[in-house]
Amino acid sequence: MAETKRYYVTTPIYYVNDSPHIGHAYTTLACDVLARFKRLDGYNVHFLTGTDEHGQKVAKSAAAAGMTPQAFTDKVSQNFRDLADFMGYSHDDFIRTTEDRHTRACQDIWQRLLERDQVYLGSYAGWYAVRDEAFYAEDELTTNAEGKKVGPSGAEVEWVEEPSYFFRLSDWGDRLMAYWEENPDSVLPKSRMNEVKSFVKGGLEDISVSRTSFDWGVPIPNDDEHIMYVWLDALINYVTATGYPDLQSDRYKTFWPADLHMVGKDILRFHAVFWPAFLMAADLEPPRRVYAHGWWTNEGEKISKSIGNVIDPIDLVNRYGLDQVRYFLLREVPFGNDGDFSHRAMVGRANSELANDLGNLAQRVLSMVAKNCDGQVPAVDMNAFSGDDQALMESAYSLLPQVREHMDVQTFHEALEAVWRVIRAANAYVDHQAPWKLRKEDPVRMNQVLYTLIESIRQIALVLQPYMPDSCARMLDQLAIPVDRRTFEFMDAAHALVCGTPLPRPEGVFPRLSDEAEDGGDV
């Protein structure tokens, strides 16, 4: 398979000490849209998600619940599987760090690091945040209102002293900087690249990569007293899923290195600094890109369990519809930035852009075709399109390269705006051409106008499939597009709608949401 036609995209693996919320749904949604887009564009795609199940925090939570760590993780991991299924994600694999395949991969990478003198035994004394499963330097700490020392995330830290293996991270600063210079898009957005460069320029210290004070983790080979530090263990999942340590497996040779690790900005350092260093130290290729997106707030407030304003994506979907939620989350905020969720904004976009702009365009055009063209693709002279007709169709035919360009740098919102420019142009074209008048005045011209519109709608529905798969499938059904002709290779004039093709009765795709929904009430 050609190198350019494979794509491996991953979500972070979600920590099972938490319940699934809008942040998890958002990250996986972005990966799902990208995976669907690449499949439609002819790529062999591997899309991975899963759960991170080791560490001190999990062990403590399991004990508090009166469960063994394995039973606890079995239960909570299923919640993330259920969310993925409910949201219609198209992942190819769901990995758990408690699986045997992952233990094998972790221990093999450990052995590679040991053989290359990249880890050594010492002792650790320093500040550790159980909630973050992270070590912090003294200058990263502040004091909270209760007088407790906290890390950058606000998590309380505790002083830890224990024997530990260390990874020689201090040796990798110059090599990381050189790698980034050669691969300037390997961390996006650009602001995140600046962030990791600044961190590395500040000087890297060797980091602890094992623990002895608890035993819920991957055992260190040939040293039963130590388990692997949860972040080293967790990051290795990405390579586990390619069949590693079998370097000759088809999956490994096809999909490693990963094309994209999608993460929240809070775990950027682990993915963009530690992970490439671990890999290069083990003589393995680093990922091609790490993309760190922003966080959501809720009606202007930081999302917090203590405040009680956690957003449940399942509640949102039940209230507003799956494709409406998928669309909103990637449309409302420039991807990479922080964003605020509000019910008013959700209803506003669903009604103005989906129900009015796109839904009404498709419904009124297809209704006119059903009424005035015997329910068939209008009969037209392919050489008789006017300048206005050609301008609209050319803008629709130019969508794929534009959207592809945005997808390749994960600007999902810009891709949608490119599509909406064509949708707005199509609505303006309808108003200007007034096909309801042409029915009496010039039915031949009416056919040309209606054909121009439904062919443009075909392009729009095809390119929006990754964002709103169910709704676009219904729209393409109404255009009588066979399921095997819905990939992007059919997005050109050579595969345009065939005159005389019978069309089913048109039906609305995007219902309007009621005003009560703005306040979180019933739709």
pLDDT value at residue 1: 40
Q: How far apart are CA 114 and CA 516, in angstroms?
A: 61
Q: Which residues pair with 341 in a beta bridge?
A: 298
Longest dimension (CA), the chain: 89
The answer to whether 450 and 368 have CB atoms below 8 angstroms apart is yes
Per DSSP, the residues of 132-199 read TTEEE-GGG-EE-TTS-EE-TTS-B-EEEEEEEEEE-GGGSHHHHHHHHHH-TTSEESHHHHHHHHHH
Give the pLDDT score at 108.
98
Judge contact between 13 and 95, C-beta under 8 A. Answer: yes
Q: What is the mean pLDDT of residues 431-452?
A: 97
pLDDT digits (tens, 9 = 90+) for 15-26: 887 778 898 999
What letter does residue 427 receive in the DSSP assignment?
A: H
Do residues 467 and 330 touch, judged by C-beta distance below 8 A? yes
Burial letters 420-452, b for 16+ CB under 10 A, else e: bebbeebbebbeebebeebbeeeeebbbbbbbb
pLDDT-based confidence at residue 515 (cuts at 50, 70, 90): low
Q: Which tokens go with 191?
A: 């602001």
Task: Give 511's DSSP letter.
Answer: P
Using CA of residue 271, residue 16, residue 53, residue 209, what is the dihedral sign? positive
Nearest-CA neighbor of 135 among 198, 201, 196, 207?
207
The C-alpha atoms of residue 156 and residue 326 are separated, in whole angstroms, by: 35
The per-residue pLDDT for 135 is: 83
The mean per-residue pLDDT over the stretch 331-355 comes to 95
Q: Which residue has the higher pLDDT, 314 or 523?
A: 314
Rounded to whole angstroms, the Cα distance separating 480 from 504 reads 7
Neighbouring C-alpha atoms within 13 Å toward the C-beta of 101: 13
Mean pLDDT of 477-502: 97
User: What share of the chain has pLDDT > 70, as a percent?
Assistant: 97
> Residue 12 in contact with residue 20, Cβ under 8 Å?
no
Q: Which residues contact 375 (CB under 8 A, 6 or more apart)?
A: 369, 502, 503, 505
pLDDT of 393 strictly over 70: yes
Query: Nearest CA to 414 among 399, 429, 424?
Result: 399
Q: List, for residues 64-111, the tens digit of each pLDDT value.
A: 999 999 999 999 999 999 999 999 999 999 999 999 999 999 999 999
Query: Could you give all domains of the chain from N- to C-terminal order, each with its CATH number?
Result: 342-515 (1.10.730.10)
Mean pLDDT confidence for 221-245: 96
| Secondary structure (3-state) at 70 | helix
Average predicted confidence (pLDDT) for the chain: 94
pLDDT of residue 289: 98
pLDDT at 413 over 70: yes
Q: Which two tokens stand for residue 169?
A: 């991270």
Per the model's pLDDT, the better-predicted residue between 385 and 1 turns out to be: 385
Question: Tell me, what DSSP letter sits at residue 258?
Answer: P
Asked if residue 481 has pLDDT above 90, the reply is yes
Average pLDDT on 459-467 reads 98
Residue closest to 447 by CA, chosen among 501, 503, 379, 366? 379
- CB of 512 within 8 A of CB of 351? yes
- Which pLDDT value is given to residue 131? 87
Hey, is 302 helix, strand or coil?
Answer: strand
Structure tokens at 325: 């939620």
Write down the pLDDT at residue 153: 86
Q: Strand, coil or helix: what is 38?
A: helix
The residues near 339 (Cβ < 8 Å, ≥ 6 apart) are 294, 295, 296, 297, 332, 333
Which pLDDT belongs to residue 17? 77
> CB–CB of 109/278 below 8 Å?
yes
pLDDT band for position 3 (cuts 50, 70, 90): low
Mean of the pLDDT values across residues 340-361?
96
Cα distances from 162 to residues 137, 146, 210, in angstroms, run 16, 27, 10
Q: Is pLDDT at 299 greater than 60 in this prediction?
A: yes
Give the pLDDT confidence of 198-228 residue by residue, as tens digits. 999 999 999 999 999 899 999 999 999 999 9
- In this predicted structure, what is the pLDDT of residue 306? 63
In this structure, what token pair is assigned to residue 348? 């506003």
Residue in this structure with the two tokens 């050669």, named with its chain if needed: 182
Residue 522 has pLDDT above 50, yes or no: no
Residues whose CB is less than 8 angstroms from the CB of residue 182 and which lie 6 or more positions away in sequence, other chains included: none
- Mean pLDDT to the nearest integer, 422-433: 98
pLDDT tens digit sequence for 27-45: 999 999 999 999 999 999 9
516 pLDDT above the threshold of 80: no
* Peptide bond between residue 435 and the one before it cis (omega within 30 degrees of 0): no
Give the closest residue to 423 by CA, choosing from 354, 326, 367. Answer: 354
* Arithmetic mean of pLDDT, 48-56: 96
Q: What is the mean pLDDT of residues 471-499?
A: 98
pLDDT of residue 189: 97
Hey, which bits of 19-118 come out as E strands? 44-52, 93-96
Beta strand extents in 40-86 (DSSP E only): 44-52
Residue 4 is predicted with a pLDDT of 65
- pLDDT at position 18 is 73
What are the angstrom distances between the C-alpha of 379 and each of 217, 369, 393, 470? 67, 11, 17, 29
* Confidence band of 165 (pLDDT split at 50, 70, 90): very high
pLDDT at residue 519, as a whole number: 54
**What is the pTM assigned to this prediction?**
0.93
Least-confidence region, from 118-122, 308-312, 411-415, 461-465: 308-312
Residues 172, 118 contacting (CB under 8 angstroms)? no
Q: What are the backbone angles phi and psi of residue 227, rounded to the nearest 5°? A: -115, 160
Please determine, for residue 2, whether its predicted confidence score (pLDDT) is greater than 50. Answer: no
The CB-side HSE value for 375 (13 A sphere, CA atoms) comes to 7
Instruction: Place 158 in a pLDDT band, splitting at 50, 70 and 90.
Output: very high
Whether residue 308 is predicted with pLDDT greater than 80 in this model: the reply is no
- Give me the mean pLDDT over the 181-196 stretch: 97
pLDDT score recorded for residue 378: 97
